[in-house]
Amino acid sequence: MSAQLIDGKAAAKASNASVAAAVAGLKAKHGLVPGLTVVLVGDDPASKVYVGSKERETKAAGMNSTAHRLPATASQAEVLALVEKLNRDPDVHGILVQLPLPRQINPDAIIAAMNPAKDVDGFHAVNTGLLWGQGGGLVPCTPQGSMLLLRQAMPKPAGAHAVVVGRSMIVGKPVAALLLGQDCTVTVAHSKSRDLPAICRGADILVAAVGRPEMVRGDWVKPGAVVIDVGINRLPDGRLVGDVAFEEARAVAGAITPVPGGVGPMTIACLLRNTLVAACRQRGVPVPSL
C-alpha cells in the first residue's frame, strides 16, 4: 500500500485565498492594508528567488509589499538602522530579514533589534519565549506550515509520539514546541543522536529537518506513520529532493509530504498569515479566523 500524499501546494493555495478574503474584509471594514517589508542583503541566488516569491505572493493577497535590497558589503550598523526605521513605520506591519546574512553581520543582533510584534518570522526571543510558554506570539512560518499539513493527515495528534530530526532555530526547535503544544510526546533527535534509525522507527509522526538529501530511509519509518519532510536539497544532477528517501518511505508511511510541493509552499502561505495577524494586532482590530 502506498501512503496518502499530503498536498502542500493545494493547502497553500487554499490558505492564500483565505488570507486574501480576510485582507479584503480588513480594507473594507477598517481601511487597513497589511504591509510586509523584506530586507535582502547581498546577492545569494536562492535568497533572491525567495524574496521575489515573497513579494509576488504578498501583493497577490492584496497586501502591501516592499523590499530593501542592500549590497553584500552593507555593514551591521546600516542593517540595524534600517530595521529601526521599519520598526517606527506604522505602515510596515511585518519585517523579514532574509537569512543567511553576509559574514560581517550578526543575525542574532538583527533579530534582537526587531520589534517582536513585527517579527513575522517568529525568530525574536520574545516570540520564541511565547512559543514555549503561554503562546500568543508570532509562530515561525515553516513549522506553522508543517503543523497545518500534519493536521490534514492526523487531525488529533494528542498522545502520538513525534520525532523531530533536526534542532535548528528555524525549524527543529519551533516545530518541537508546536508538537508539544498539541500534546504529542516529542523526541528531538539530531546528527549526534545515537541509533537514529531506531529512534525514528518509534515515531507516529516523523518530521525530517536536517538538510541532508534522502537521509531518512524507508526502513526508518514506522508502518502507517505521518512523515513531514521539511528538507529541500538540490542534487548534483539538478533534482530537488527532501531529507526523506521519498519512494522508500512512501511504501511504508500512512501519509507523507512530497518534495517539492509539500512543506515548501506552506512557508510563504504562513508568512502571509503572520503578516495579517501582525497588522490586526498592531491596529487593535480582531484577527479574522482563517
- Catalytic (active-site) positions: 54, 98, 121
**98 touches ligand GUN (CB under 6 A):** yes
- Residue facing ligand GUN at closest CB distance: 99
Closest separation in Å from C-beta 98 to ligand GUN: 5
Identify residues 105-124 at the interface with ligand GUN (CB under 6 A).
121
**276 touches ligand GUN (CB under 6 A):** no
Residue closer to ligand GUN, measured from CB, 181 or 211 = 211
Closest separation in Å from C-beta 243 to ligand GUN: 15
**142 touches ligand GUN (CB under 6 A):** yes
Residue 45 CB neighbour total at 10 angstroms: 7
**95 touches ligand GUN (CB under 6 A):** no
Contacts of 231 (CB under 8 A, 6+ apart): 208, 209, 210, 211, 212, 213, 241, 242, 243, 244, 259
Instruction: Give the residue from 81, 86, 132 showing the smallest Cα distance to 109.
Output: 81
- Listing DSSP states for 8-20 in one string gives HHHHHHHHHHHHH
- Residue 158's Cβ-count burial label (10 Å; 0-12, 13-18, 19+) is exposed
Q: Which of 110, 141, 208, 253: binder of ligand GUN (CB under 6 A)?
A: 141
**253 touches ligand GUN (CB under 6 A):** no
Q: C-alpha cell of 151?
A: 493536521
For residue 210, the 8-state DSSP code is S
Q: Which of 36, 114, 154, 170: binder of ligand GUN (CB under 6 A)?
A: 170
Determine the interface stretch with ligand GUN among 73-81, 91-99, 177-185, 256-264 (rule: CB under 6 A): 91-99
**99 touches ligand GUN (CB under 6 A):** yes
For residue 236, the 8-state DSSP code is T
Cβ atoms of 235 and 241 within 8 Å: the answer is: yes
Closest separation in Å from C-beta 121 to ligand GUN: 5
CA distance 63 to 66: 10
Binding mask 20-59 vs ligand GUN (x if CB under 6 A, - otherwise)?
A: ----------------------------------------
The count of C-alpha atoms lying within 13 angstroms of the C-alpha of 78, restricted to the half-sphere facing its C-beta, is: 16
Determine the interface stretch with ligand GUN among 10-18, 94-102, 242-250, 251-259 (rule: CB under 6 A): 94-102
Q: Is 66 helix (H, G, I), strand (E, B) or coil?
A: strand
Closest separation in Å from C-beta 148 to ligand GUN: 15
Determine the interface stretch with ligand GUN among 79-87, 97-105, 220-228, 247-255 (rule: CB under 6 A): 97-105
CB neighbour burial string for 124-140, b if at least 16 within 10 angstroms, e if fewer:
bebbbebbeeeeebbbb
Residue closer to ligand GUN, measured from CB, 65 or 98 = 98
Cβ atoms of 4 and 153 within 8 Å: the answer is: yes
The residue to which cell 534582537 is assigned:
112
Residue closer to ligand GUN, measured from CB, 32 or 141 = 141
Q: Which residues bind ligand GUN (CB under 6 A)?
A: 96-99, 121, 141-142, 170
